[in-house]
Structure 1
Amino acid sequence: MNSLTAEAFKERSPLYAKHQDASLVALADTVAVARYSKAAENMQLARCALVDLSNLPRVCFRGTDTADFLHSKGYDLPETPNRANAQDDGSMVARLSQTEYLVLGSLRDAGTRVADLEAQWQLSEQANYLLPRQDSHAWLLLTGEHCAAVMAKLCGVDLRNGNFTQGAVAQTSAARINVIVINNHATALPSFHILCDRASASYFWDAVLDAMLEFGGKPAGIAVLLD
């Protein structure tokens, strides 16, 4: 039985009820799933797995001065919309439009850098406006060699690697809800970051798991990603 429980924390994933049988691990001031089984999940992640990253910090900023603001904080920004740049610390910046940027936290620091970025923002004369995303979007990570085939069952956009290249961003519909999909193939592990409406997270989680069954897909935790 877990010594940690999601209910003990003020902040918890909208999917915490799906993780009752999983082993949990502390993640800053909240928790995340470490693993679903006692065995290491390396092979599962390489084949087909779904990871809940909803407790990692994420935030958006929008405005004509947003690029300058993020540059001043040391972030490397995409040159065009619908592209994402991985950062040296494991975080990621996705450019959603000419002036809107989504910043995703890193597991390496439990998202502390991004959480501090949001906490320290202040309204000023700069045209740079905070758009909180922690309570509006759930965040999933779909991993493995079958990523594109899984998404083909749910989404009309061709997300195969030849078309949807590393760092590409798709703002589209999957399983009939709006999603943001980011190709995270920067590492040896093929993966898509997927953000969806937080209120629809439970439905979308089940829809993705159903699409994964053909490929032996299962939920997994973050333990292997931290190694």
Structure 2
Amino acid sequence: MVDLTNLARVGFRGTDSAEFLLSKGYHLPETPNHATLQDDGSMVARLSQTEYLLLGSLRDAGTRVSDLEAHWQLSEQANYLLPRQDSHAWLLLTGEHCAAVMAKLCGVDLRDGNFTQGAVAQTSAARINVIVINTHTTALPSFHILCDRASVSYFWDAVLDAMLEFGGKPAGIQALLD
């Protein structure tokens, strides 16, 4: 498990949000509860018909996403900024047993056959609300998990406890760059 909370993330909601993001060069998922990996390593998750969550890339330390947030301006366009840096912590759970780890915490079946690459689940894990995104972009399964930032210490401990059975442990961001 790696803590990615220091990377940029932001949301947009409104009937014109898709048009806004397309104009900024983002590729969008066609349906809600799906995510699309961008060419630069960032990600766009579609949470509803008109709400999107953008996650920054390690490649540019989240600069593209943070710049988009910093330069957003209210206009006549129905596209509203949803800051997520202070509200959501961001963890990456990876390894061959990540679905089994999450099964100990969450009632949603996150195994490969049911939770495919690019799928998004907005659910509860360890009794708190989470957003789980199956990225599986590496040789091992990978789940990006966003939770309430005020609860991240509790959630971190709950995930670590669930990982013990499988020999899991926390890692630093450097593990993703090697």
Are positions 1:178 and 2:129 aligned together? yes
Q: CA deviation at 1:187?
A: 2.6
Q: CA deviation at 1:190?
A: 1.5
What RMSD over aligned residues (CA atoms) do the two structures have, in Å? 0.6
Q: CA deviation at 1:224?
A: 2.7
- Once the two structures are superposed, what CA deviation does each residue of 1:107-145 show, in whole Å capped at 9, x if it has no partner? 000000000000000000000000000000000000000
Are positions 1:198 and 2:149 aligned together? yes
1:119 counterpart letter in structure 2: A
2:129 counterpart letter in structure 1: N
Question: Percent of counterpart pairs with the same letter?
Answer: 89
Are positions 1:110 and 2:56 aligned together? no
2:170 counterpart letter in structure 1: P
Q: CA deviation at 1:223?
A: 1.1
Match of 1:143 in 2: 94
Match of 1:80 in 2: 31
Q: CA deviation at 1:186?
A: 2.4
User: What residue ranges of structure 2 are gaps of 5+ in the alignment?
Assistant: none
2:104 counterpart letter in structure 1: K
- Once the two structures are superposed, what CA deviation does each residue of 1:187-219 show, in whole Å capped at 9, x if it has no partner? 323110000000000000000000000000100
Q: CA deviation at 1:226?
A: 1.7
Structure 2 Cα separation of the partners of residues 223 and 133 of structure 1: 24
Q: CA deviation at 1:69?
A: 0.4
Specify the SS of the correspondent of 1:80: coil
Match of 1:54 in 2: 5
TM-score, normalising length from structure 2?
0.99
- Greater C-alpha radius of gyration: 1
Specify the SS of the correspondent of 2:165: helix
Match of 2:50 among 99, 102, 116: 99
Match of 1:28 in 2: none
TM-score, normalising length from structure 1?
0.78
Match of 1:208 in 2: 159
Structure 1 Cα separation of the partners of residues 40 and 95 of structure 2: 22
Deviant stretches of 4+, over 6 Å:
none
Match of 1:168 in 2: 119
Structure 2 Cα separation of the partners of residues 187 and 179 of structure 1: 22
2:26 counterpart letter in structure 1: Y
Match of 2:71 in 1: 120
Structure 2 Cα separation of the partners of residues 187 and 117 of structure 1: 27
Match of 2:110 in 1: 159
Structure 2 Cα separation of the partners of residues 189 and 222 of structure 1: 16
Q: CA deviation at 1:147?
A: 0.6
2:114 counterpart letter in structure 1: N
Match of 1:224 in 2: 175
